[in-house]
A and B are shown apart, each in its own frame.
Chain A
Amino acid sequence: MLEVLVASAVLLMTPLLLAALGEIVVERAGVLNIGIEGVMLLGAFCAAGAIQLDRGRGEGAVAALLVGALIGLVLAYLFIARRVNQIVGGVLFNLLALGLTTLLFVSSFDNSVTSRIYGEVAIPGLSALPFVGEALFSQPALVYASIGVVLLVNYMLLRTWFGLHLRAAGERPRALDTAGVSVSGVRTAAMAVGCALVGLGGGSIVLLESGAFTPNITEGRGFIALGIALVARWRPWWAVPAVALFGIAEAIHFQAGSLGLGGVPPELLAMLPYVVAIVAVTVGTAARYPAALGVPYARE
């Protein structure tokens, strides 16, 4: 029973982890992307679209990634070049994405094409471990890849010029500007990279869980990823335990019936991560936010 729970939690965690990493990237650059839910949804839609067009899963993942990057650029144009308020813009984009994907799904998708989800890849040796072996080490390749993405994002943020400039853009954009680096350029690129990951996160919902798109398939998971970024304090590695918290709560919620949890209602357990997120915002005083989060940069 525990194994089923852990395995399902790990599957649920992968999209969240990818999306949260994407949000960490854009928030570290100073952009609050409330539109993350919409980006995920479009990523999921495109991954499913690739499958509809009889392409492979790999191509589905690439499609989600590319569409995410493209949307990132569009949103960056709105938020950075046009200085559209990031909160309203994000909420509106979510509504638009929900409308668009539902509309196109209803009109153009063939519901019978499904079930081409990723197969498991068992890691020899580890997967034979008792209890958690199969749950942790017999998972689709994308799940392992997501851990690689944590490494990559961490490396990018801390060890590259882009990462250095990105962190400066989120903390004190004026310092970056007076150092001769374009704040807009760095933030735009961060949006492209971050939203690509968010898109892949959305795509992985289709590729890992259901194999097909359904309207509003993300069901607010973008917002969960937003909460994870908060709880993780914008650090890529901390996203892993934060995702685990949300993932396990979610898995319990889904599997409540089979778990026979007795007296504890699954909805109340599912609430827990959100309460943790609220506490994280509340006790994390302003000093620990990226200081310029959500603030458009203008010289005058």
Chain B
Amino acid sequence: MRTLAAAVQRTPPMLGPRAVRLALSLGLTLLLTGMVFQLAGANPFEAFEALIRGSLGNPLGIEQTIELMTLLTLAGLAVAIPARASLWNIGGEGQIFAGALAAVAVALKVGGIPPALVAVMALVAGIAAGAALGAVAGALRAGPGANEVLTTLMLNFVAILATYYAIGHLFAAAGIRGSTPVISRDAMLPDVPGQTFTSGIALALLAALGAWVLLTRTRLGLKIRATGFSPDAARHNGVRVGGVQVTVMALGGALAGLAGAVVVIGIEGLLARDFSPGYGFIGIAVALLARAHPLWIVPAAGLFSVVTVGGSYLEAVVGLSASVALVIEGVLLLLLLAFWVFPPERGVSGGR
């Protein structure tokens, strides 16, 4: 035991320059996940090939990939923006549920106005619901100093259970268990012209661009970054740190809420209990891979979407479960962290 203790006490060796460590983590990811595939009874080479074919090699795959990318971009941004102020939004999942619930409520209950307006209202409602949930955690942090990791984690369950309640009691669909009725096709977001995927992707890309502009070009962005790097110095220079904390959590929640709304009125057309395989949590990984940079969120979300959609294709072709995607993503990111491809301690918000 003593030798173990001595071994872990030493400063971790850096294993050469960053490029080497990056290559090492990628290689090890392939090796380890390949071994898992083998263990699960599939040829690793075939599996990796099928992964790409399933997500990018056919129209349906591309459609699914882009729709998933829409959601993961928003879920990633929901983590990245608070992360730049050194706050953890672990509540993306709940905020997505809240957004979806608010959107479906508007889409089902509001009538008598043009359907396009209903769609807009549903989006706004989703954003507002997510923002409110995020703001609660932000305010509890800014005021009594409650750890936002724990409050957002617990708020997830509050939001999810509230959604289950609403699905079960308020908007119960006749005939379909665990789902709301289908909303009117007119009140849904249109597909991108000439394509089969939702125009929600445009919203996601705009959100990423907007977040980048916000962080680099605006007063609020500077306040967020100053708070994230050094709350003391920020306060000393006139930043109201508590206000920034509430604002970033609300912004993060708003983006997650938008993701929830897009699920309902952009993709599925209804709200089912099990609509999310954990988008909010995967968003944390996306934000990490992008090092909380809003523009890098998009390709990071893209990578995750390719792996995830490819994973569900594997289920059909190679007979592996769709959850291979989680294995690949988890192994890759943990290795990137362990090899310090991202510097430690600063966590998600590493870059300027």
Of residues 264 through 283 on chain B, the ones whose CB sits less than 8 Å from some CB of chain A are: 278, 281-282
B326 touches A82 (CB 8 A): no
A220 to B288, CA, bound (A): 22
A32 within 8 A of B: yes
Q: Which of A92, A106, A268 contacts B285 (CB 8 A)?
A: A92
- Kindly report which residue of chain B lies nearest to residue A278, judged by CB atoms: B154
Residues of B within 8 A of A108 (CB): 40-41
CB distance from B106 to the nearest CB of A (A): 21
**Chain A contacts for B347, CB-based, 8 A:** 85, 87-88
Determine the chain B residues whose CB is within 8 A of the CB of A224 once the complex forms.
Answer: 157
Inter-chain CA distance A13–B169, complex, in Å, is 28
CA distance A267 to B41 in the complex (A): 40
Interface of A (DSSP majority class): helix
Give the distance to chain A from B142, nearest Cβ to Cβ, in Å. 12
List residues of chain B with CB within 8 A of the CB of A94: 281
Shortest A281–chain B CB gap in Å is: 5
Chain A residues with CB under 8 Å of B282's CB are 95
Question: B-facing mask of A70-97, CB < 8 A → 1, else 0?
Answer: 0000001110111111011101111111
What's the A-B contact tally at a CB cutoff of 8 Å? 197
Q: Does A188 contact B (CB under 8 A)?
A: yes
Closest partner residue, chain B, to A188 (CB atom) = B8
Task: Give 6 nearest A-B pairs by CB, closest first.
Answer: A99-B326, A96-B330, A185-B5, A267-B165, A102-B323, A107-B40
Q: Which of B65-73, B227-235, B334-342 contacts A (4 or more CB under 8 A)?
A: B334-342
Q: Are B321 and A107 in contact (CB under 8 A)?
A: yes
A34 to B155 CA separation, bound complex (whole angstroms): 15
A93 to B338, CA, bound (A): 12
Q: Mark B256-269, 1 if CB is under 8 A from A, else 0.
A: 00000000000000
Q: Which of A43-51, A52-60, A153-161, A282-290 contacts B (4 or more CB under 8 A)?
A: A282-290
Binding-face segment, B109-117, B123-131, B144-152, B185-193: B144-152
- 18 A–B contacts from the bound complex (CB under 8 Å): A77-B8, A77-B338, A82-B337, A85-B346, A87-B347, A89-B334, A91-B284, A92-B284, A96-B326, A98-B278, A100-B327, A103-B40, A106-B323, A107-B40, A107-B319, A185-B2, A271-B157, A278-B158
Q: Pick the contact of A267: B144, B145, B155, B162 (CB < 8 A).
A: B162
Residues of B within 8 A of A247 (CB): none
Partner pick for B330 among A84, A93, A220, A230, CB 8 A cutoff = A93
Q: Is A175 an interface residue (CB 8 A)?
A: no
A232 to chain B: closest CB distance in Å? 13
Partner of A274 from B7, B154, B346 at Cβ < 8 Å: B154
Given contacts A103-B320, A182-B9, A271-B157, contact A96 B150 (CB under 8 A): no
Q: How far is the CA of A271 from the CA of B157 in the complex (A)?
A: 7
Of the candidates A78, A106, A184, A282, the one whose C-beta lies within 8 Å of that of B338 is A78
Query: Does the CB pair B325–A99 fall under 8 Å?
Result: yes
Task: Say whether A223 faces chain B, with CB atoms less than 8 Å apart.
Answer: yes
Task: Assign chain B's interface to a size class.
Answer: 35 or more
The residue that B1 contacts in the complex, of A87, A100, A185, A281, with Cβ under 8 A, is A185
A108-B41, A278-B154 known; A80-B330 Cβ under 8 A: no
Pick the contact of A81 from B8, B161, B331 — CB < 8 Å? Answer: B8
**Contact residues of B: prevailing secondary structure:** helix
A98 near B326: Cβ-Cβ < 8 Å: yes
Contact of B329 among A95, A275, A277 (CB under 8 A): A95
Cα distance A57–B4 in the bound complex, in angstroms: 32
- Chain A residues in contact with chain B, CB under 8 A? 32, 34, 76-78, 80-85, 87-89, 91-100, 102-108, 182, 184-185, 188-189, 215, 220, 223-224, 226-227, 230, 265, 267-268, 270-271, 274-275, 277-278, 281-283, 285-286, 289, 294, 296
Bound complex: CA of A171 vs CA of B271, how far in Å? Answer: 45
Determine if B39 and A91 form an interchain contact, defined as CB atoms under 8 angstroms apart: no
CA distance A4 to B145 in the complex (A): 41
The residue from B161, B169, B323 contacting A99, defined by CB atoms under 8 A apart: B323
Given that A99-B325, A105-B321, A268-B161 are known contacts, is A87 also in contact with B330, CB under 8 Å in the complex?
no
Q: In the bound complex, do residue B321 and residue A87 qualify as a contact, i.e. CB atoms below 8 Å apart?
A: no
Residue of A nearest to B155 (CB): A278
Q: Is the CB of A277 within 8 A of B154?
A: yes
Tell me if A230 and B345 are in contact (CB < 8 A).
no
A102 CA / B140 CA spacing, docked (Å): 36
B16 at the interface (CB under 8 A from A): no
Please report which residues of chain B, range 304-351, place their CB below 8 angstroms from some CB of chain A when the two chains form the complex. 319-321, 323-331, 333-334, 337-338, 340, 344-348
Bound complex: CA A224 to CA B153 (Å): 10
Contact call B321/A102, Cβ cutoff below 8 A = yes
Nearest B-chain residue to A256, judged by Cβ: B168
List chain A residues, Cβ under 8 A from B333. 88, 92
Best-buried of B288, B334, B346 by chain A (most CB within 10 Å): B334
* Contact, CB under 8 Å: B344 / A85: yes
Cβ of B36 under 8 Å from chain A:
yes
- The smallest beta-carbon distance between B173 and chain A, in angstroms, is 17
Which chain A residue has the least Cβ–Cβ distance from B137? Answer: A278
CB distance from B298 to the nearest CB of A (A): 20
CA distance A5 to B323 in the complex (A): 35
- Contact residues in A for B348 (Cβ distance below 8 Å): 85, 88
Contact A278 B281 (CB under 8 A): no
CB of A26, distance to nearest CB on chain B (Å): 15
B276 to chain A, nearest CB (A): 12
Most buried by B among A85, A215, A281: A281
**Is the pair A282, B140 in contact by a Cβ cutoff of 8 Å?**
yes
- A78 with B337: in contact, given A92-B330, A103-B324, A185-B2 (CB under 8 Å)? yes
